[in-house]
Chain A
Amino acid sequence: MSGTDVRLEDVRFSYGGGAEMRFDLAVPASAIVALMGPSGSGKSTLLNLVAGFETPSSGSVAIGGADVSALPPAQRPVSMVFQENNLFGHLDVAANVGLGRSPSLRLTPQDREDVLAALARVGLAGKEKRLPRELSGGERQRVALARVLVRDRPVLLLDEPFASLGPALRADMLDLLRDLHDERRMTVLIATHQPEDARAIAQTIVFLEEGRVAVTGPTGLFFGPDRPEAFARYVGGKAAGMPG
Chain B
Amino acid sequence: MPATRPLPGPLALAFVAVLVGGAFAGLLAEAASDPSGAAGAFDAYLGRIVRFTLWQAALSTLLSVAPAILVARALSRHPSFPGRSLILGLFAVPLGLPAIVAALGVLALWGRAGLFAPLMAWLSGGDWPGIYGLAGILVAHVFFNLPLAARLLLEALEAVPLDHWRLSAQLGMGARASFRLIEWPAMRAALPGVAALVFMLCVTSFTIVLMLGGGPAATTLEVAIYQALRFDFDPARAVALTLVQVALTVAAVAAMARLGASPTGEASLALAPRRYDRPSPAGTALDAVLIAAAVLFVAGPMAATVVAGLEADLGRLATEARVRDAAATSLLLAAAAATLSAALSLALVAMRRRLETARSSSRAGLLARLLEWAAGNGALFVLVVPPTVIGAGWFILLLPAGMVFAAAPVMVVAVNAVMAMPFAVRAIRPAHDAAAARHDRLAAQLGIAGWARLRLIDWPVLRRPLFTALAFAMALSLGDLGVIALFGSESVRTLPYLLMERMGSYRTQDAAGLALMLGALCLALMAAANRLGRERA
Using CB atoms and an 8 Å cutoff, list the residues of chain A in contact with chain B.
Answer: 51-53, 72-76, 78-80, 82, 84-86, 88, 90-91, 99-100, 103-105, 151
Contacts and interface: CB of A to CB of B under 8 A. Distances in A.
Contact of A103 (B161, B163, B168, B278): B168
Nearest to B172: A74
Interface centre among B168, B181, B182 (most CB of A within 10 A): B181
A88 B182 CA distance: 8
Contact of A74 (B161, B162, B171): B171
B170 A91 contact: no
B276 A75 contact: no
Nearest to A106: B177
A151 to B, nearest CB: 8
A86 B171 CA distance: 12
Nearest to B188: A90
Nearest to A75: B172
A122 to B, nearest CB: 18
A-B pairs with the 4 shortest C-beta distances?
A: A74-B172, A85-B163, A104-B177, A103-B173
A103 B166 contact: no
A105 B172 contact: no
Interface string B421-448: 0000000000000000000000000000
Given A104-B176, A104-B180, A74 B169 contact: yes
Interface residues of B, number: 21
Contacts of B163: 82, 84-86
Contact of A79 (B162, B164, B170, B276): B170
A85 B162 CA distance: 8
B167 interface: yes
Contacts of B279: none
A91 B171 contact: no
A103 B172 contact: yes
8 contacts: A72-B169, A73-B170, A78-B170, A82-B163, A88-B164, A88-B182, A104-B173, A104-B174
A53 B169 contact: yes
B172 A90 contact: no
Given A73-B169, A82-B166, 14 more contacts: A72-B278, A73-B166, A74-B170, A85-B161, A85-B162, A85-B167, A86-B167, A99-B171, A99-B173, A100-B171, A103-B168, A103-B173, A103-B177, A105-B181
Nearest to A84: B163
A53 B174 CA distance: 16
Contacts of A72: 169, 278
Given A72-B278, A88-B182, A90-B185, A103 B171 contact: yes
A105 B185 CA distance: 15
Contacts of A103: 168, 171-174, 177
B166 A80 contact: yes
Contacts of B177: 103-105
